[in-house]
Amino acid sequence: MIGLIGGTGAEGRGLALRFAMAGRKVMIGSRNPERAASAAEEVRNLASDLDIQGSDNVTAAKNSQVVIIAVPYAGHKSVLAQIKDHLVGKVVVDVVVPLIFKDGVAHASIIEEGSVAQQAQSILPASFVVGAFHNISAHDLLIPDQPIDCDVVICSDSLKAKQCAIELAQLIPGIRPVDGNGLECSRYVEDFTALLLNINRIYGRHSMVKISGI
Ligand SMILES: NC(=O)c1ccc[n+]([C@@H]2O[C@H](COP(=O)([O-])OP(=O)(O)OC[C@H]3O[C@@H](n4cnc5c(N)ncnc54)[C@H](OP(=O)(O)O)[C@@H]3O)[C@@H](O)[C@H]2O)c1
């Protein structure tokens, strides 16, 4: 089971759809189980034969082997503290970007630990944290027949977590996983999302990342 914490949002629903389209069992988590159930139903209606359930965040964390954190940065520390005991020994994929908007321009805020993924690892010392999927458009993920053509840069200090995130990325046709080194490099991938959002605003599109030369 793949659990999506904060999975009622666009990014969580988009990843839920794509993982379920690849045949994986998915649980959408929420602070409110009714909201989760309704998000799960909404995503199930986007394609056929999708195994997607909804639950509160704690149940999603408890019942999943791999847990994806997809909340706004404002809720990052508190949601991790709430589900921490259910993440021991598990791979935790953090997609959170610490965005702030000033005068219509997206910026990434400075994180004391270096990156959001490092913050997660410091809160979850008994889990295997990986930063990934930061630069992928939820809008495109949520359209089942929309082709995806981008790289997903994956940062972790754990080979097990990195391999798990590589396998998750490979579930979505058109995504190439790229090894982005350790967690200390996740800040560059997280922050790059702010640039993509500004590019999106200028071009009216949903930009993503492709790295050439490798
Ligand atoms: N949207 C994108 O295209 C995209 C792309 C890449 C990365 N990301 C990152 O992925 C994360 C999720 O993005 P999103 O657009 O899906 O965000 P979102 O819709 O703003 O939030 C996702 C869910 O998080 C829960 N939530 C909101 N505030 C919370 C809080 N203070 N504490 C705990 N849970 C809270 C809500 O679920 P409940 O109310 O149901 O609990 C909400 O539906 C963000 O960090 C974003 O930067 C987004």
For 50-67, the pLDDT digits (tens) are 999 999 999 999 999 999
- Atom 25 (ligand 1): residue with closest C-alpha? 6
Confidence of residue 175 (pLDDT cuts 50, 70, 90): very high
CA distances to 72, 95, 107, 212 from 198, in Å: 18, 19, 9, 22
Q: Which atom of ligand 1 is nearest to the CA of 139?
A: 3
Residues with CB under 6 A from ligand 1: 6, 8-12, 30-32, 35, 70-75, 78-79, 95-97, 99, 134, 136-138, 193
In the chain, pLDDT over 70 holds for what percent of residues? 100
Cα 62 from Cα 134, distance rounded (Å): 24
Cα 44 from Cα 101, distance rounded (Å): 33
Give 180 Cα–ligand 1 centroid separation in angstroms: 23
Confidence of residue 7 (pLDDT cuts 50, 70, 90): very high
Q: At 17, which helix (H) or strand (E)?
A: helix 10-21
Q: What is the pTM of this model?
A: 0.98
> Which structure tokens are listed for 42?
């909404």
Structural contact between residues 24 and 102, judged by C-beta atoms closer than 8 angstroms: no
Under DSSP, is residue 130 helix (H, G, I), strand (E, B) or coil?
strand
Q: Which atom of ligand 1 is nearest to the CA of 138?
A: 3
42 class by beta-carbon count within 10 Å (0-12 exposed, 13-18 middle, 19+ buried): middle
Confidence of residue 49 (pLDDT cuts 50, 70, 90): very high
User: Which of 11, 136, 201 to mutate to test ligand 1, by most ligand atoms within 8 A of the CB atom?
Assistant: 11
Q: Tokens 């990014």, residue? A: 11
User: Mean per-residue pLDDT for 78-94?
Assistant: 98
